[in-house]
Structure 1
């Protein structure tokens, strides 16, 4: 891919932090775009799941505005340095979320499936490691901020 095309693709990336829910179908359609050179689209959607050990009922996600978006842009750029990619979409929600709510969407278009799979996993692994989000678990009796998991650090370390 020429440098000019690479920059043009970057302009078309979608990277957002928002409180509103997102439509997986609409984001998938954005990834397909008009670029016929991309024969693979891989997506990942993270949702709020039950935490039996903490009896979590809701989750509150906080972030550092401006810094968070820049961190996500940097992660996508690192992925572009490793793989030839088409459009990339990263949406992360913040605020109060309930069970089964969408939290994060990572979508990658590429000419080849291996690039798309690996880049999507790389972006998600580094998002968990480097993006400034803070998570609070809420149950009927208490609230507690959650520490970063060592497994998330290990996942990013494999790259």
Structure 2
């Protein structure tokens, strides 16, 4: 299991290839990469803040839970912090298991957690100023299924 909280850009394709390389003990790999989205056409950057030790620990704990709940063979979680431009990757989740259902469900669980509960704070910097991003009801509702 790998959990990385980093400011550096990552190449999702290279990460996925490395994650699955030379694996013969898995039947499924599922991945998701989140990208900074500019919904209104005026986003200059998304600024993501965190508490380093707390964030790493919290994500590792939830990744451990996913491994236990879905009998995963491996997990990769990457989440960036700092200033990010529209179109840049913000996070990635990859899960590997013997069967696809477990890999899909675990990846979905991890993404819901990262969206709603991981200790990150996001500020949108636009042409009109800056504002913190509020939690969305839909994201909170998604967690209820787990």
Q: Distance in 2 between matches of 1:115 and 1:47?
A: 24
- The 4+ residue runs of structure 1 with deviation greater than 2 A are 54-57
Instruction: Report the counterpart of residue 67 of structure 2 in structure 1.
Output: 80
* Unaligned 5+ runs, structure 1: 1-12
Instruction: Report the counterpart of residue 100 of structure 1 in structure 2.
Output: 87
SS of residue paired to 1:37: coil
Instruction: Report the counterpart of residue 19 of structure 1 in structure 2.
Output: 7
> What's the Cα RMSD here?
1.4
**Superposed displacement of residue 118, structure 1:** 0.5
Q: Distance in 2 between matches of 1:14 and 1:80?
A: 12
* Unaligned 5+ runs, structure 2: none
Question: Size of the alignment, in residue pairs?
Answer: 146
1:148 aligns with 2:132: no
The CA deviation string for residues 38-93 of structure 1, in whole angstroms up to 9 with x for no partner, is 111100000011122x8322110011111001110111111122101111100001
Instruction: Report the counterpart of residue 121 of structure 2 in structure 1.
Output: 134
Alignment of 1:24-35 (within 5 A): 24-35=12-23
TM-score by length of 1: 0.87
Instruction: Say if 1:75 and 1:127, in contact at 8 Å, map to a contact too.
Output: no
Please tell me whether Structure 1 or Structure 2 has the larger radius of gyration of its CA atoms: 1
1:113 aligns with 2:126: no
The CA deviation string for residues 108-137 of structure 1, in whole angstroms up to 9 with x for no partner, is 011111110110000010112221000000
1:60 aligns with 2:60: no
**Superposed displacement of residue 156, structure 1:** 1.0
1:50 aligns with 2:41: no
